C-alpha cells in the first residue's frame, strides 16, 4: 500500500512538473521571449520547435521587416500558447546546440500521443543515460549515486 502511494505521489509530481513546463513555455511565448522557429516532421506526426533571444537565438520576424509576416508569427505564437495552456499540446523535448537551445511541443492535434508519465520507464531511461554518459564522457559512475 505504501509503495502504491509513493508511486502515485511520484506520478503526480511528474505531471505537475509537466504542467508547469507547459505554462512557463506559454508565458514565454506570450511575452515574446521565444517564438516558433521550425517544424519537425516525423511521419505520422510533427512537432513545433520554439526558441528565441532567451535561448540564444534571434527572434523570428518577417523578412526585410515585413510587419504582416511578423504579426502572423505573433498570432501563431499566441495559438501555440493557448494550446499549451489548455493541454492540447505539451512540451515533449528540448534540443541543446553549441550556442542555442530550443523546446519542442507536440500533441494529438499534430498526430503525436500525449504520453503519461510512468515511473518504471523513467528508471530505465535514467539507468540508460547514466551508463551512456559514464561511458562516453569518462564521468565516474559514483557521481550519479547522489542523484
Confidence at 12, pLDDT banded by 50, 70, 90: confident
Confidence at 48, pLDDT banded by 50, 70, 90: very high
Q: Report helix, strand or coil for 33.
A: coil
Render pLDDT for 75-92 as a digit per residue (tens, 0 to 9). Answer: 999 999 999 999 999 998
Domain chopping of the chain, boundaries:
2-114, 117-147
User: Which set of grid coordinates corresponds to residue 136?
Assistant: 562516453
User: What confidence score (pLDDT) does residue 53 get?
Assistant: 86
Report the first-to-last Cα separation within the chain, whole angstroms.
Answer: 25
User: Which set of grid coordinates corresponds to residue 46?
Assistant: 510533427
Amino acid at each position: 500500500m505504501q509503495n502504491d502511494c509513493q508511486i502515485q505521489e511520484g506520478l503526480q509530481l511528474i505531471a505537475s512538473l509537466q504542467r508547469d513546463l507547459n505554462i512557463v513555455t506559454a508565458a514565454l511565448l506570450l511575452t515574446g521571449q521565444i517564438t516558433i522557429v521550425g517544424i519537425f516532421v516525423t511521419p505520422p506526426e510533427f512537432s513545433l520547435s520554439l526558441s528565441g533571444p532567451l535561448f540564444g537565438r534571434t527572434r523570428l520576424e518577417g523578412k526585410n521587416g515585413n510587419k504582416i509576416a511578423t504579426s502572423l508569427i505573433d498570432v501563431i505564437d499566441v495559438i501555440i500558447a493557448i494550446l499549451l495552456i489548455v493541454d492540447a499540446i505539451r512540451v515533449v523535448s528540448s534540443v541543446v546546440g553549441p550556442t542555442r537551445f530550443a523546446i519542442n511541443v507536440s500533441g494529438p492535434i499534430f498526430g503525436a500521443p500525449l504520453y503519461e508519465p510512468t515511473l518504471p520507464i523513467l528508471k530505465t531511461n535514467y539507468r540508460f543515460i547514466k551508463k551512456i554518459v559514464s561511458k562516453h564522457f569518462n564521468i565516474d559512475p559514483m557521481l550519479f549515486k547522489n542523484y
